[in-house]
Amino acid sequence: MRTVTTASAMQRLAKRWQRGRVRVGFVPTMGFLHAGHLSLVRRARQLVGPHGRVVLSIYVNPLQFAPTEDLSAYPRDFERDAKLCRSEGVDVIFAPGPEEMYPAEPGAAFSTVVVEEQLSKLMEGESRPTHFRGVTTVVAKLFNLVLPEIAVFGAKDFQQAAIIRRMVRDLNFPVKVVVAPTRREQDGLAMSSRNKYLDESQRQQALVLSRALRQAQERVRKGAPASAAQLRAETAALVALAPQARLDYVAFFDPETLAPMQEVRPGVQMALAVFVGRTRLIDNVKL
């Protein structure tokens, strides 16, 4: 396994692979890896085969954090990440420094961004208006550096995956986007690097997210179609039972277009964001 830290070295390597017709699978992350990330690595390996290359990037992308968010506190542990990658058979970790991705040369600072203008305005985009422009910009840059044939994203960030798919289609990136299922802890909590912020009591309270999803799932699979308003009220009531939890949003939408649905039937996607203390957690499921 190699670690590459500069954009130029990554792109040189990727071009060499391309000339040699080596298949490349790519897993972009912000590091502090958990079993969810590693499941994406395994999927990438499966897709490119034993002779392909799997690249995992670790980059805490400042452009996708608002000034009020947790950029400087975001958990990092490169040594541990590297160990996990090695044991999963990752070929290259691409871990660029911050200046590497957004050069700040006086008079010639980074000034180009990629903006998806529809899906980015919904849900996460309402709460975090500059978030997805950071995500699409960094992913576009990473695609240009790693030149992957396949890129694997997690369903945990459902809206993000939909936006990346749209960007790839709209800008003709020659990349196949694959979305892998959300990995959960035994008790249902979706794995996330941000779970590290939770104290013991908050960790328990964080179960309201998966509980709310399960409650809605059972409700919709059993009975007649429910209204989104009704399900939203039930979710709010459930979240209110946890003293440190505050519902940011809950949404019911078409999984392809992300269009909000008033009538909720099986197959509709449900997503929610909840603050537990100061930690903002997200989760989603197909009902």
DSSP string, 148-187: -SEEEEEGGGHHHHHHHHHHHHHTT-S-EEEEEPPPB-TT
Region from 71-79, 175-183, 217-225, 232-240 binding ligand AMP, contact rule CB under 6 A: 175-183
Catalytic: which of 34, 37, 51, 131? 37
Closest CB 216 distance from ligand AMP, rounded Å: 19
Question: Which is it for strands 150-154 and 269-276: parallel, antiparallel or unpaired?
Answer: unpaired
Q: Which of 45, 157, 189, 228 binds ligand AMP (CB under 6 A)?
A: 157
Q: Which of 45, 156, 166, 211 binds ligand AMP (CB under 6 A)?
A: 156
Closest CA to 69 of 283, 279, 272: 279
228/273 with CB nearer ligand AMP: 273
Instruction: Tell whether residue 162 is a contact of ligand AMP (CB under 6 A).
Output: no
Instruction: Tell whether residue 151 is a contact of ligand AMP (CB under 6 A).
Output: no
Q: Which of 136, 159, 193, 284 binds ligand AMP (CB under 6 A)?
A: 193
Sequence letter at residue 241: L
Instruction: Tell whether residue 192 is a contact of ligand AMP (CB under 6 A).
Output: yes
75/277 with CB nearer ligand AMP: 75
Instruction: Tell whether residue 137 is a contact of ligand AMP (CB under 6 A).
Output: no
Asked if 92 and 16 count as a contact pair (C-beta separation under 8 A), the reply is no
DSSP string, 29-45: E-SS--HHHHHHHHHHH
Asked if 33 and 191 count as a contact pair (C-beta separation under 8 A), the reply is no
What whole-number distance in Å separates Cα of residue 257 and Cα of residue 173? Answer: 20
Closest CA to 60 of 98, 33, 26, 6: 98
Q: Would you give the binding string for ligand AMP spanning residues 2-31, x where CB under 6 A is met?
A: ---------------------------xx-
Name the one residue in this structure whose structure tokens are 């990473």.
142
Instruction: Tell whether residue 136 is a contact of ligand AMP (CB under 6 A).
Output: no
21: left (phi over 0), alpha (psi -120 to 50) or beta: left
What whole-number distance in Å separates Cα of residue 75 and Cα of residue 181? Answer: 23
Catalytic annotation on 37? yes
Closest CB 240 distance from ligand AMP, rounded Å: 25
Closest CB 58 distance from ligand AMP, rounded Å: 8
Region from 4-12, 71-79, 179-187, 263-271 binding ligand AMP, contact rule CB under 6 A: 179-187
Footprint on this chain of ligand AMP (rule: CB under 6 A): 29-30, 36-37, 39-40, 153-154, 156-157, 180, 182-183, 190-193
Active site residues: 37
